[in-house]
Structure formats: C-alpha cells, structure tokens
Structure 1
Amino acid sequence: MGFFFHIGRYFSMLKRVFARPEKHKLYIRQLFHEIDNLGVNSVGIVIIISVFIGGIMTIQFAYSMANPLYPVELVGLGTRDTLLLEFSSTMLALIMAGKVGSNITSEIGTMRVTEQIDSLEIMGVNSASYLILPKIIAVVFVFPFLYIISVFFGLLGGMVTGPIAGVISIPDYISGIQWLFYPYYITFSLIKSLFFGFLVASVPAYFGYYVQGGALEVGKASTKAVVNTNILILFFDLILTRLLLT
C-alpha cells in the first residue's frame, strides 16, 4: 500500500508541477539559475570522473585482450562502446543522483520544514510548479550535454593513459575508437539521458516536497531520494535497453 501511495502522490505532484505558470518571467529567471546551479557546476566533476574512468577502462581492456589473436583495435573499441552505451549515460546518472538529487531534496525539504513553501501557498503561488519545474527542465536540458562531455573526456583519458601505461599506441587507439562505429549508440544514450535527467530531478524533488519534521528528517529524505532514484535509473535502464536495442 505504501508503494502505491507514493506513486499516486508522486503523479499528483507532477500534475501540479506542469500546471500553467503564473508569471513566465519569474520561471525563466529561476530556470537559468537552476541550469547554472545544477548543470554548469557539475561539469568539473563529470570531466574528472570521465578522464579517470576512460584511462582505467583502456588499461583493463588492454590486459584482458592481451592475446595475439585479438586485434589491438578492440581496446579502443571497447572503451568507446562502454562510454557510449553505459558509463556516460547510466553510471554518470547514478553519480549525479548523489550530487544533484541530494541538493534538490535538501533545498526543497529545508523550505518545507521552515514553512517557506506554506508561505508561497498562502500568497497564491503554485509552490510545486515554481520550485520544481525549473529544476526538472534544467536537469533534463543539461544531461545530454553532460553525456557528450563525459564521452569526449573519457576517450581523451584513454588516449592519454594508454601510451603512458605502455598498453596501446595513440594511432592504434584512435583506429579502435573509429572501428565499427554505430551512430545509433549516441541516439540511444541521449534518449536514456533525457529519461534519467527527469528522474534525477523529479524523484528527489518529491521526497523534499513532502518531508515532515526538522533537519534530521531532511537528511533522511535526501538519503531515501538518492537510493530510490538510483533504483529507478537502473530499472529504466533495463527497460530502455530492451526496447531500443532490439
């Protein structure tokens, strides 16, 4: 019963979120603020993680395929396809759920327990739409760009790490990332990024919007938001992979 209760209340919140805004100028101003706060401020950590993961995957693929029967191009191909299909979309979304999701839950949850949301409702403002809609649009908008940045710097990390570790030369690595390339992989992962961006913004917002109590409860809500968002990301990753890669 608790599961269906949360599902019903979640969709009820979304209905309010996507109601017609009262003042478009306020929403646009808030949207740019959220893009900067939730998106631009996440670029640094995305680059750092992607560079190291790209380098790690290149070394691991090189050692797992250290067989003269395997073409050396498989190292670059494996790194490329892992970044394109899974890491830069799904794994990055799991990481961003911890950073962005906890931020959203704590911000909205703090407003709830300090009665700021009640004040907005008294003034006739649709608090769900004003507080949550710009966050959803901002995260959904920036996630595909973060995906592209992650793929680029992941491949760059592999290209730098491979020769330094002595496992592959730059020409062989570049040849590998060009070998058997399917552009649909990018389309597939961009679609996943849009879904994951919506989950990363809306699920934590739900837990923050309906939190009750004080600072301790806000902290617990942030933990629940990250855990549930990660579970939903993995669930929809399975569904979308089954639907889009068959």
Structure 2
Amino acid sequence: MTAIFTLPPHPLALIEGSDERFPVGRIFCVGRNYAAHAREMGKDPDRDPPFFFTKFANAIVPGDSTVPYPPETANYHYEAELVIAIGQEGAAVATEDALDLVFGYAVGLDMTRRDIQLDAREKGRPWDLGKNFAWSAPIAAIRTVQDGGHITSGPIRLTVNGEVKQEADIADLIWDCQETIAYLSRFERLLPGDLIYTGTPAGVGPVQPGDVMEVTIAGLAPLKVTVGPREAAFA
C-alpha cells in the first residue's frame, strides 16, 4: 500500500549539550495551575483536578526565533511555562513513580490568542483556535534529568523588552510535575516524545510586533522569542 503523499517528519526539539534531537509527538497543556493566575483569569484557585488542552506538535518553535503575530486576533498573549519532556511510556502510573517517565525539562511559552479564547469560553465552546495554532509553543533546549535532575522549585521569570511581567516559583504550582504526570496518565497512555506544558504564573499580557520575550527558569536554558509582523503568518 502506497501513501498518496508524504507527511513531514516529527518536529524536533533541541537537547542541551547534545547533537541529538527530541522528536515531539503530542503537546498537553495544563490550564490555570498557579493560584494567582487562576484569580487573574476570574476563576477559583481551589485545588480542583487539573484540566488539559492540547497543541499540535508542529506548534513548537526553537529559542532565538521570530514568530509572526498570528491572524484573527488583536490580543496576543504570552504565558511562560515549565515544560516536561516525556521519555518513557506509561499509563495509570502512581504518583510516586511518575517522575520515572521524565526525559528532561525545558522553558516554554504557551502563546495565546486571548480574545478568541475568552470568546469561546464565554460561549461554552472549545478553546482550540485560541490556543492551538502555528508557532504557539516556543521551547528552549531540553535539559535531561541525567544532567540536571528533577525540577521541584526555582524562580520562573518572563520579561518583555527587558521589563519583568511574570515572576513566581515552580514550587507555587498547584499540581506539581509528578502529580500532573500521574493524573494525565489516567486518561492517556503517555508516550516518548510527549511534552507537558505545566501552566503559567500570574502576569499574562499582550505583545506586539517587535517585542522581545525572554523566559528563564533556574537551571534551564533560557528562551528568547521575538514577535514578527502579522503578514509573516502566511508568508
């Protein structure tokens, strides 16, 4: 049997200190996983079970890139996040065993068409067009667990044109990494190549063409992304 056309290969994420690459299969994102961010989005930050949305694998963008301002939005937001890279398969894993699935960690951005997202939310519709679009998941080089261990705390900070916009500690996550992995694995068998964006702190806001976003998490390679012109989205 012959396919009528050839699909592009899996997108590849950088691995810090290595010429090898991490093939990205699926991207899962945790919503409202910092209490202060839940409040700024008008929601109760109580410890309800985590919820997830997804992005296409080809939404990833390496660091030091320029991403076009996306079409059909006037409110394009940054969300700085810790990203978990899954390297082992697992389903319904116990919380105490969840970190065994982790290949490494990276700094990421969950870029959002906020006006589209909020309009969909108010109408009880899916968020897809607000969250899942091209260039919406920038990610820096992945630092392996072997090289740096697991991340349970440490500052996370985002600046726009040098001005601090988001600042928190990974320890402030409502659901930490091992709890998030264990919970998600009850619904989906996690596979090597999966990425989990763990949620963003308070302080989300808009960017415009020409703005430069820089995200740092202690111990990880930083992420720098420049916003390009709107017309580049379909260039």
Report the TM-score, using the length of structure 2 for normalisation: 0.28
Q: Which has the higher strand share?
A: 2
Larger radius of gyration: 1
Q: Which has the higher helix share?
A: 1
Report the TM-score, using the length of structure 1 for normalisation: 0.27
